[in-house]
Amino acid sequence: METTVAHLKRGQKGIIKEFTENLLPIKLLELGCLPGNVVELVQVAPLKDPIYINVNGSHIAIRREMALHIALDIIEDNVAI
């Protein structure tokens, strides 16, 4: 199973790898949802839709259905003790 923005937990970050379909709205691309950029899950609405993400300092609300089409490589937080 591939990890997507919809599978992130609150505060978790990932690097956008690719889009599973070419259905991403131009507005999301203009706001920085591009391969190679870091995305962080900020908050999930009470009914699990929409979800709020942070991309390049922009907080964006997207539908869970759209988030399922944005594939990620998870950034692991390695905390030194």
40 C-beta neighbours (distance < 10 Å), count? 17
The SS3 assignment for 16 reads: strand
Q: Considering the entire predicted model, what is its pTM?
A: 0.81
pLDDT confidence of residue 42: 96
> What are 28-64's pLDDT values in tens digits?
888 888 899 999 999 999 998 999 999 988 899 999 9
The SS3 assignment for 6 reads: helix
pLDDT confidence of residue 32: 83
Q: Which CATH architecture has domain 5-74?
A: Roll (2.30)
With the C-alpha atoms ordered 7, 36, 41, 50, is the resulting torsion angle positive or negative? negative
In the predicted structure, residue 78 carries a pLDDT above the cut 90: no
pLDDT confidence of residue 79: 52
